[in-house]
Amino acid sequence: MADNWQPGINRSSLRDRSELLQSLRSFFQQRQVPEVDVPVLGRSTVTDSNIESVNARVAGDSAYLQTSPEYFMKRLLAAGSGDIFCLGKAFRDAEIGRRHNPEFTMLEWYRCGWDEHQLMDELAELISQVANARSEAPLTVTKVSYADSFKSVFGIDPQSTELGTLQKMAAELGSESWADESRANCLDLLFSLKVEAQLPDGLVLIYDYPACQAALAQIHLDAKGRSVSRRFEAFFNRMELANGYRELTDAREQRQRFDKDREQRHADGKPEITVDEKLMAALDDGLPACAGVALGVDRLLMQLQGAESLDQVMPFSWSRS
């Protein structure tokens, strides 16, 4: 007889979770941003080599549980939906642990005509609103560029430092050789292991990520003439919560990035993923200028409650499913 039938979340936290979901929806309802309900099961998925999708079979055909609602939401945007948000489940075949679960709740929204800094401000307003409702001390919000946060820890510019130097630094932190690793992978390791650990308390918004980590974001020149991506990440007490972009709208450049993703997946020995041609058709037709961000709701609740693991804030984590 299974002895772990009970939920990990207690009654008080279950109520807090319900109130948080209501607060998130209310935030957008007050701003007249409509909620959309998109599929969690689709024929296509992301090509990113750092993200693994959960496979499924439907009527004998391959399918995927969606890693985020992004592709479906962008198709809505291209069809003229205007500002939209989605609050629902996402799935990733990744590590399982204190901060990771294969099924999780994601809040994602898009603002037409906005840039990444406007969206950062709205994200900060949203998180401050739900955090301040649960604490007497107001939430501290800090905005800093990726280059400045990296330099404050390592004393070097992540953009101009030679790849060989970054590989050597990464090897000193990693357990294996990093001699063949890319600039993006080296920077990701150094940032995640050292910079994130030294971020201040409260909400920290890191912007202007290196161009090599652009993903689906536009690229531009910063104030110092460096090529950076119009991408940001949000950390709450040093835990990554959100990832946002000034969205790439150039279909040709997006296809080139997808092709590079697929080449990297092949080099990493990972399953081949075809490009989502319906998304590409939407981009060809015209994605409006917009900024979008995805927020991990379960992690947000962890921070609001001071919980030690996702198991304490989810009705049934993977170990209890």
- Among 80-89, 148-157, 181-190, 202-211, the minimum mean pLDDT is found in 181-190
Within a domain: residue 243?
yes
Could you count the other beta carbons within 10 Å of the beta carbon of residue 147? Answer: 22
Separation between Cα atoms, residue 258 and residue 209, nearest integer Å: 19
What pTM did the predictor assign? Answer: 0.95
Instruction: Report which of 287, 152, 157, 166 is spatially closest to residue 216, judged by C-alpha positions.
Output: 287
User: What whole-number percentage of the chain has pLDDT above 90?
Assistant: 85
Separation between Cα atoms, residue 296 and residue 300, nearest integer Å: 6
Within a domain: residue 188?
no
Q: So what's the pLDDT on residue 175?
A: 60
Are 27 and 129 spatial neighbours (Cβ–Cβ below 8 Å)? yes
Which residues constitute the domain of residue 285?
11-140+200-320
- Inform me whether the pLDDT recorded for 294 exceeds 80: yes
Within a domain: residue 224?
yes
Within a domain: residue 134?
yes
Q: What angle do CA 84, 89, 91 make, to 5 degrees?
A: 120
Estimate the crossing angle of helix 11-30 against helix 297-305, to 10 degrees. 120
Estimate the crossing angle of helix 183-190 against helix 163-173, to 10 degrees. 40
Within a domain: residue 284?
yes
What b-and-e string marks burial along 79-117, b requiring 16 or more CB atoms within 10 Å of the CB?
eebebbbbbbebbbeeeeeeebbbbbbbbbbbbbebebe
Within a domain: residue 156?
no
What b-and-e string marks burial along 277-287, b requiring 16 or more CB atoms within 10 Å of the CB?
eebbebbeeeb
Q: So what's the pLDDT on residue 136?
A: 82
Separation between Cα atoms, residue 292 and residue 85, nearest integer Å: 9
Q: So what's the pLDDT on residue 179?
A: 66
Within a domain: residue 182?
no
Q: So what's the pLDDT on residue 223?
A: 87
Structural domain total, the chain: 1
Question: Which tens digits make up the pLDDT trace of 22-75?
Answer: 999 999 999 999 999 999 999 999 999 889 999 999 999 999 999 999 999 999
The CATH number of the domain holding residue 240 is 3.30.930.10
Within a domain: residue 95?
yes
pLDDT level of residue 2 (50, 70, 90 thresholds) = low
pLDDT level of residue 180 (50, 70, 90 thresholds) = confident
DSSP conformation class of 189: H
Question: Which tens digits make up the pLDDT trace of 146-179?
Answer: 999 999 999 999 989 999 999 989 888 876 777 6
Separation between Cα atoms, residue 8 and residue 319, nearest integer Å: 9
> What mean pLDDT is predicted for residues 275-291?
97
